[in-house]
Structure formats: C-alpha cells, structure tokens
C-alpha cells in the first residue's frame, strides 16, 4: 500500500513539473504572438476602396494611379 502511495505522489509531481516547464517555454511564444497581433491590427486601419468594384483592401496592397485606388491591375486598366 505504501508503494502505491509513493508512485502516485511521484506521478503527480511529474505532471506538475512537466506542466510548469511547458508554461515557462510557452510564455515567450505567447508574447511574440501578442506583439504580432498588435502589428497586424495597425495594417487593418488603413483600408481603401477600389474605384472599380468597391472592394475594401489594405492600403499597402492597393494599386495607386495618382489619387485613384484599385484592388488589381485589371481594374486599374479598365478604368484608365
């Protein structure tokens, strides 16, 4: 009976140690993901509308012809 109790205690301690190590290793990854999500949210604030079809796209992906904005080269060619 005493051996079973010792094995159960060792098993519980082992699970606790594994969980502790896992959380310590995951903390830097969670911080990186949080920082990356903050950077991505800045890009979504700068949305522009395609003059041809009305699609909203990020400004950095838009095709610009003077003050006109398009979602693709095909739409830019059709309008010009």
Judged against a pLDDT cut of 50, whether residue 71 lies above it is answered with yes
Which residue has better confidence, 45 or 4?
4
| pLDDT of res. 28 | 73
Judged against a pLDDT cut of 80, whether residue 12 lies above it is answered with yes
Phi, psi of 69 (to 5 degrees): -125, 135
Locate the domains of the chain by residue range.
1-45, 46-80
| pLDDT of res. 38 | 53
- The whole-angstrom distance between residue 67's C-alpha and the CA centroid of its chain comes to 31
Q: Give 15-32 pLDDT, tens digit per residue.
A: 999 999 988 888 777 776
For the entire predicted model, the pTM comes to 0.45
């Amino acid at each position: 009976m005493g051996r079973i109790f010792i094995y159960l205690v060792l098993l519980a301690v082992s699970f606790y140690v594994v969980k502790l190590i896992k959380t310590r290793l995951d903390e830097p990854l969670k911080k990186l993901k949080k920082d990356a999500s903050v950077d991505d949210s800045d890009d979504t604030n700068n949305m522009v509308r395609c003059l041809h079809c009305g699609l909203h796209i990020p400004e950095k992906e838009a095709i610009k012809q003077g003050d006109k904005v398009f979602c693709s080269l095909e739409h830019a060619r059709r309008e010009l």
